[in-house]
Structure 1
């Protein structure tokens, strides 16, 4: 029987956790009360049985010790343990209230969970270290082949080569040989089944772009007889990065290539709610600052306090963006021109200070309230410059799928751009946002923006 010792991992895991739980319960009682004899008598004996019963029910319901090798990692195992502990603590709390068990020591319970967590973490990390060494010596390994040669086939091999601790050993590629691939293949489809039998291959990865359904069906049909696993490799990476999702029409899986991420509840509702609340707070509590800046802008140079300009928003919709004026009037009489940085004589002295501290952007919170912009999002540009950017970097169009923002990764890491080349460089940062967008990521960007403002590092 292949890998006969692997079957022992599950019961061993269960036994060690039960031993750890009971040792923690008894040990905590001894630490708290200086003796362990009363723990075997009511009422603590009852609580002890309840502890074990709840943990057993959790194991039966959640099956926490069954996962593939790819998830057999310290962070995943420890996270799973803490989830089980949280559920266990919640149920114990309900039991405490139900039986009015105020005579139980809360300190004893806290020590119990502390010891149990320590033992559980130590066992899991120790077990992983042991497995890594055990597999490095050639034990508890899995043999795999890849059917259908191409870029995706080499990717899965590269993954397992980079993670030897998983214990997967590569035994060759199989495909119809061609002039270019003949030397790279272990064999063709005719030799596949015999090779699997002779070498006791555990897993056959089938790359869907390079194998037809007929051959795939034969491989699947033979799997039960020859005893190997079949796993499909489908290259969805380019789609999933854009927020694609899987829908089920009855039992038929359908890949939705529409950008689900851009239309989900969090983006449309929670993010908009935060934008409104944050903008109102800035406008209300920052009103004295707005008035002071308006006054200084008015006194330091001729012209209006605010500057309005057409920008392109989500889905290519134009809108008027507002800023405190940082340049002299008629700065673009000869057409659209980007700021030349320190060499730009169109910017006023007060305007330089506002740009370095990003205070000139504050009126854009009115744009946020109107719904044209968000607090966090890629900076909106003028159509004149978008046309030039797209010629160099067509991927810029993906940024038009999200609402533009007052601040962005590009503004933090790069700042203002003086030419198209620098705008493309800043674009590389902003392209990260649609893929990583979340509430916590927005908070991080806002915090970094405040730091730039306080340090006066805007450029």
Structure 2
């Protein structure tokens, strides 16, 4: 029903977008007839093509954003096909370009608004207990409790837990008031009697015998049976199931960022870095002059660092130390009262102004605005063998600032425990990334991160 409603409203959005564009540009009668024919063609084409882009596949408990991306992309493909037909029929010169562009933009907005409105209405209905699918959960322990808690915390998804089967068979009573069974045949009889819609198996991979017994029990019933495996002791970052050459696969150790998230982050990084370089140019030029005038050597300090997936790049900083020789294979961290640091460099390091040139690295795609701070390659080689999870910091691009830095973990790491704490904060960021978290980190960096007692 939801899919049919969205399809109908989508067609209405196409017609409405075209009508509003016609009112804005008022073409002559001959143009209006031609453009009406184009609209009718694209409406018919949209009904055929939009479903191919997953525009109408939003399912309970799944993200609403991918269907939005699909419907906009699908609409652009429909318009591209319509434009190709107009060229073939030699109609393109007779159709108003302003009208066509306005229609395209207005319809895209209308399709997005339609999807969001339908989801909002359905979410409101489900929050008040309507349009719900009942779920009986099979499992025991923390994983089962987590699944039940997620159902309770997501009323918009449209599920309601109604019973459990305790696979440990200990007869433990639940505190949430749900009927709790310990025998499969009693549980199955109750599910059939109450016409429960779905059975979810919150089991470990080692519970294969239970899985097979439940599947055999319900093999003759029209009840949806879903497996939600407990992989908490196995996965590094998340529990995302992905399609891998046509087969479902669970990411145990893989990048925690989806393609959509990486694209969103990359676009923001480039735009933000470009704007910041323009805004900060009046600050960066005097700093460059001061560095050059107060000590011998280049304005910029460059050093090889590891980026995403271990790719090596050269990081840029304003030089804050006197030019000196390092022993081969050794990089000595700055310490309090370090004689190598110049007076100008000390100020730059305390205020983090020495890191402003890293916006060039962001613009080049080597770094991100927010992410784990990159370390010298020699430090990477040292810490990766003694700090748990260290290497997984490089599953995404390193950042100018990060979750560890705004929580006080920056500067010298003379103790392994300090590096371990920094890495734990970096991994927390990877596991919990969101665009909102990035904005929070940037704001915190501006408000309190420009000066820090650990930076010297």
TM-score, with length taken from structure 1: 0.65
Describe how 1:67-86 pairs up with structure 2 within 5 A.
Answer: 67-71=58-62, 73=64, 75-86=65-76
Q: Of residues 63, 66, 80 in structure 2, which corresponds to 1:90?
A: 80
Cα pair distance change 1:437/1:200, threshold 3 Å? closer
Specify whether residues 455 and 156 from structure 1 end up closer, same or farther in structure 2 by C-alpha distance, changes over 3 A only.
closer
Summarize deviations over 1:38-80 as a string: whole Å, max 9, x none. 68x853343233212221221453352123112364x455433
Structure 1 residues 145-154 or 86-95, which shifts more? 86-95
SS at 2:411 equivalent: coil
User: Could you tell me which of 27, 30, 39 is aligned with 1:48?
Assistant: 39
Residue by residue, what CA displacement relative to the aligned partner does 1:5-45 show, whole Å, maximum 9, x if unpaired? xxx2232222222233234334543453389x768x85334
Report how far residue 240 of structure 1 moved: 5.3
Q: Alpha-carbon deviation of 1:233?
A: 0.7
SS of the residue aligned with 1:398? Answer: helix
2:151 matched to which residue of 1? Answer: 160
Partner of 1:352: 346
- Cα RMSD for the two superposed structures: 5.7
Where does residue 24 of structure 1 map in the other structure? 17
Cα separation, 1, equivalents of 2:59 and 2:77: 23
1:118-133 equivalences under 5 Å are: 118-133=109-124
Gaps of 5+ in 1: 1-7, 300-304, 331-335, 369-373
CA distance in 2, matches of 1:324, 1:86: 48
Whole-Å Cα distance in 1 between the matches of residues 398 and 106 of structure 2? 48
| Distance change in 2, residues 1:406/1:198 (3 Å) | closer
C-alpha separation in 2, matches of 1:168 and 1:397:
39
Q: How does 1:321-336 map to 2 (within 5 A)?
A: 326=321
Q: Does the alignment pair 1:205 with 2:200?
A: yes
Q: Tell me if the contact between 1:150 and 1:210 (Cα under 8 Å) persists in the aligned partners.
A: no
Instruction: Name 1:296's counterpart in structure 2.
Output: 294
Give the Cα separation in 2 of the matches to 1:363 and 1:448.
19
Say whether 1:192 aligns with 2:183. no
8 A contact 2:393–2:426 mirrored in 1: no
Q: Does residue 33 of the first structure (1) align with residue 23 of the second (2)? A: no
Q: Deviations over 1:315-362 (max 9, x none)?
A: 9x9xxx9995748999xxxxx89734xxx4756534412423557679
Cα distance change of structure 1 residues 145 and 16 upon mapping to structure 2, 3 Å threshold: same
Aligned equivalents of 2:398, 2:14: Cα separation in 1: 51
* Match 1:225 to one of 216, 220, 241: 220
Secondary structure in structure 1 of the residue aligned to 2:181 = coil
Q: Look up the match of 2:237.
A: 241
**Are 1:390 and 1:396, in contact at CA under 8 Å, matched by a contact in 2?**
no
Does the 8 Å contact 1:327/1:348 carry over to 2? yes
Which protein is bigger by CA-based radius of gyration? 1
* Alignment coverage as a number of residue pairs: 405
1:380 to 372, 375, 379: 375
In structure 1, the residue matched to 2:328 is: none
Residue 13 of structure 1 corresponds to: 6
Normalising to structure 2: TM-score of the pair?
A: 0.65
The residue aligned with 1:99 is 89
1:424 Cα deviation after fit: 5.0
For residues 128 and 395 of structure 2, what CA distance do their matches in structure 1 show? 51
